[in-house]
Chains A and B, each alone.
Chain A
Amino acid sequence: MMENKKDDKLKKLPRLGMWLSWVDKPRSSNKIFISLILICFVLFCFDLIYPKHGYVEIENIRGFYSLYGFIMFAGLIFLATLLRVLIKRKANFYSPKDINSEKYPEEGLDPVNHND
């Protein structure tokens, strides 16, 4: 696997893959993060000024969708993390009557590598 990572530059990736590999360049994640913040900022500011016509009253509160989306999403992640503490068991908990710790049988696969 590590060899694969080193070999990427030597052996050609598909052109589309090369283009997409921009996301893994050192500063790209920062750029994506900052653009996301900017987009959110613009959306939030615009939400403060345009006339709203929601069916549900709460929709008409300024910044409702932004705050609700952000808070509920973060809450979901934290609650799910808590849930994991309660329900997590070993991968082979139901083994052998379960597929979780089984390998997918090879006859149903075609595991070709990119460079093969």
Chain B
Amino acid sequence: MIEFIPTSFIFFLMAGVLALFPHGLMRGVLLLITPLLAVFHIWYIGFGNFWPYEFFGFDLELMRVDRLSRIFVLVFCLASFLGNLFAWHVRDTIQQVAALLYAGSAIGAALSGDMISLFFYWEATALTSVFLIWARGTEGAYHTGLRYLIVQIGSGVILIAGVCLFYQETGEVSFNKMTLESLGTWLIFISFGIKCAFPLMHNWLQDSYPAATVTGAVILSAFTTKMAIYALARGFAGTEILIYIGTIMTLFPIFFAEIENDMRRVLSYSLNNQLGFMVVAIGIGSELALNGMAGHAFAHILYKALLFMSVGAVLYRTGTAKASELGGLYRTMPLTAIFCLIGAASISAFPLLSGFVTKSLTLSSVAVEHRTIIWLALVFASAGVLSHSGIKIPFFTFFAHDSGKRPAEAPKHMLIAMAITSAFCILIGIFPATFYQILPYETNYVPYTFDHVFSQLQLLFFALLAFAILYRYGFHPAEIDATNLDTDIVYRKWMPSLLGLSIIVISKLYASMLINGSILLEYVHKSLSNSHGPKSARVIGYPSSAMVVNIIIVFALALIVIFVS
């Protein structure tokens, strides 16, 4: 009975049913029940391949449940539940339907056993999620949504091109481990890389997430990038190049996050950095590393959602998420401040919180392989996480200088969503062994060794001390309302400028060609007219009877030739 429907279809079905209900309580309940039903479904269906389906001669598998896909589906359901609870007040049908379809698509992708259904879900996440940006309803959001859509759809187009080539080479479309040895697999890899925000392909993330609605950003933060992480883990675990790509991903965003003013953009850079840790783990590819990747993805979705929720609640109450306009909000939003601090401490990997027990799996997997430089880079990146997500977000929003704003505390449903998310962050941190049971591989890893806790505390407290000293003596960069350039300047300014320039150059060339060409034509016409025209010496010197004689001669010659041959 439970196999009656694939898990993702529960979301699609409910999205259809939702439109039948009037706005209000019933819709809210439906939005919360759907992910819970899905959790029940994925947990009780067990492991195995369900829903084989033939599509134009291809064997598709809509439900491949194993330990790797199950943990992603579980956390996607959880994120959907928490996001929908946070968005309880939203009465916009488009956002509600989009939230369900988006979560369903990401879950469908995580369960796809073949690359054709993966492609459909891959594109569906793009098409459904863009409405969470457009729902903001401003001109800026419209253009940002378009840019987001172009990149996301582009990733899907590259994916299907890669799948076609892969099928041509191997005759297979099932989605399993691949190696980077042909154009097909490289295209699939790049397609995953775009949604995973690889360096130089990352800027869609920081561009679009801060443009989403208050609740849209919470939902967006959970799915697309982690779906790509899952796809990389499934397709390219143990691919060496990912270690280096991931390391760069952990490093460069921390510098940008440090000087960014929009708190939701800071969180987007931070998200990019967190993805880097997961990509490194996929590159390492050992059981310990893949456990680290999955555990980190699970914990990360929760604390990142918590941070987006707290900043979202501030935006909801004050109308801004810019650090330069915020500060001192703890006075009237103390609960939101505390939830934000829990999220900040979790992402910074303070002991007894979720980040500590999950990130340490990844760091240990790098350390046991004695990759010292990578390990040093990741430890540095951890200090960077503390800097922007651990300190900057809560400090400049809720503490630091008093902005004079006295907004009311976040609405109850937002507080409940943040409280539940915080509880997960704490529970995972306190009971890691229980949490580790849902990881892809069985493990008896112990995160709370004396060495580990003590070294982490040293790293964090000394980084905090560095911040305290720099802030106290005025060396910390001030919060300034500005736009910081990133790689998106290439397609937002340079390429349009280059296009404009080339249009000017081409049109000028064309105009000069026309003018010079007409002068040349006129000259040729005049010369011909002079030499062969009615008044030319050639025409005047020969009467028309001469022409008749000439023709008769030609005809006569022709007759002779025909007769002889």
The residue of chain A having its C-beta at the shortest distance from the C-beta of B455 within the complex is A65
CB–CB B255/A76 < 8 A? yes
CB–CB B140/A23 < 8 A? no
Chain A: minimal CB distance from B136 (Å): 7
Bound-state Cα–Cα, A115 to B318, Å:
14
Bound-state Cα–Cα, A72 to B485, Å:
24
Chain A: minimal CB distance from B460 (Å): 7
Of B78-86, B367-375, B526-534, the stretch lying at the interface with chain A is B367-375
Residue A26 at the B interface, CB < 8 A? Answer: no
Interface size class of chain B, counting residues whose CB lies under 8 Å from the partner chain:
35 or more
Q: With A20-B331, A88-B480, A94-B492 in contact, do A109 and B255 touch (Cβ < 8 Å)?
A: no
Of B190-198, B399-407, B419-427, B556-564, the stretch lying at the interface with chain A is B399-407
CB–CB A69/B466 < 8 A? yes
CB–CB A17/B331 < 8 A? yes
Our pick among A36, A80, A104 for the contact of B319 (Cβ within 8 Å) is A104
Residue B432 at the A interface, CB < 8 A? Answer: no
CB–CB B463/A73 < 8 A? yes
CB–CB A80/B482 < 8 A? no
**Contacting residues, chain B, for A68 (C-beta < 8 A):** 376, 379-380, 383, 459
CB–CB B485/A87 < 8 A? yes
**Contacting residues, chain A, for B386 (C-beta < 8 A):** 73
CB–CB B462/A65 < 8 A? yes
Within residues 445 to 502 of chain B, which ones have a CB less than 8 A from any CB in chain A?
450-451, 454-470, 472, 475-477, 480-486, 492-493
Q: With A94-B483, A99-B141 in contact, do A109 and B259 touch (Cβ < 8 Å)?
A: no
CB–CB B139/A50 < 8 A? no
CB–CB B316/A110 < 8 A? yes
CB–CB B259/A99 < 8 A? no
The residue of chain B having its C-beta at the shortest distance from the C-beta of A98 within the complex is B140
**Contacting residues, chain A, for B464 (C-beta < 8 A):** 36
Bound-state Cα–Cα, A115 to B404, Å:
13
Q: With A33-B468, A54-B367, A90-B482 in contact, do A13 and B139 touch (Cβ < 8 Å)?
A: no
Q: With A112-B407, A113-B408 in contact, do A102 and B140 touch (Cβ < 8 Å)?
A: yes
Our pick among B138, B330, B405, B455 for the contact of A59 (Cβ within 8 Å) is B455
Chain A: minimal CB distance from B383 (Å): 5
CB–CB B404/A56 < 8 A? no
Residue B89 at the A interface, CB < 8 A? Answer: yes
- Specify the main secondary structure of chain B where it touches its partner: helix
CB–CB B337/A103 < 8 A? no
Residue B114 at the A interface, CB < 8 A? Answer: no
Fill in one digit per residue for A26-42: 1 if any B CB lies within 8 Å of its CB, else 0. Answer: 00010011001101100
**Contacting residues, chain B, for A37 (C-beta < 8 A):** 465
**Contacting residues, chain B, for A86 (C-beta < 8 A):** 485
**Contacting residues, chain B, for A94 (C-beta < 8 A):** 483, 492-493
Q: With A2-B404, A90-B482, A111-B318 in contact, do A55 and B334 touch (Cβ < 8 Å)?
A: no
Within residues 58 to 97 of chain A, which ones have a CB less than 8 A from any CB in chain B?
58-59, 65-74, 76-81, 83-84, 86-97
**Contacting residues, chain A, for B254 (C-beta < 8 A):** 76, 80
CB–CB A36/B465 < 8 A? yes
User: For A33, A79, A112, A114, which residue has the most chain B Cβ atoms within 10 angstroms?
Assistant: A114
CB–CB B458/A44 < 8 A? yes
Of B31-39, B170-178, B208-216, B228-236, the stretch lying at the interface with chain A is B208-216
CB–CB B334/A116 < 8 A? no
Q: With A55-B364, A84-B259 in contact, do A105 and B138 touch (Cβ < 8 Å)?
A: yes
Chain A: minimal CB distance from B483 (Å): 4
CB–CB B137/A46 < 8 A? no
Bound-state Cα–Cα, A68 to B143, Å:
43
**Contacting residues, chain A, for B457 (C-beta < 8 A):** 43
**Contacting residues, chain B, for A107 (C-beta < 8 A):** 137
Bound-state Cα–Cα, A103 to B455, Å:
44
Q: With A69-B463, A89-B485, A90-B482 in contact, do A58 and B451 touch (Cβ < 8 Å)?
A: no
User: For B89, B333, B457, B481, which residue has the most chain A Cβ atoms within 10 angstroms?
Assistant: B457
**Contacting residues, chain A, for B456 (C-beta < 8 A):** 65
Bound-state Cα–Cα, A13 to B334, Å:
10
CB–CB A108/B332 < 8 A? no
CB–CB B468/A36 < 8 A? yes
User: For A20, A80, A91, A99, which residue has the most chain B Cβ atoms within 10 angstroms?
Assistant: A99
CB–CB A80/B462 < 8 A? no
Residue A53 at the B interface, CB < 8 A? Answer: yes
Our pick among B334, B335, B399, B460 for the contact of A69 (Cβ within 8 Å) is B460
**Contacting residues, chain B, for A114 (C-beta < 8 A):** 331-332, 406-409
CB–CB B140/A8 < 8 A? no
Bound-state Cα–Cα, A43 to B366, Å:
25
Chain B: minimal CB distance from A14 (Å): 6
CB–CB A104/B320 < 8 A? yes
Chain B: minimal CB distance from A95 (Å): 8
The residue of chain B having its C-beta at the shortest distance from the C-beta of A112 within the complex is B408
Chain B: minimal CB distance from A24 (Å): 8
What are 10 sample pairs from A and B whose C-beta atoms fall under 8 A apart? A4-B405, A20-B337, A44-B458, A56-B370, A74-B466, A90-B483, A97-B492, A111-B319, A113-B406, A113-B408
**Other than the known A76-B387, A92-B483, A96-B140, what 18 A-B pairs have Cβ atoms closer than 8 Å?**
A2-B404, A16-B334, A17-B333, A20-B337, A47-B458, A55-B364, A66-B459, A66-B462, A69-B466, A70-B462, A73-B384, A73-B462, A74-B466, A80-B256, A88-B480, A88-B485, A99-B210, A111-B318
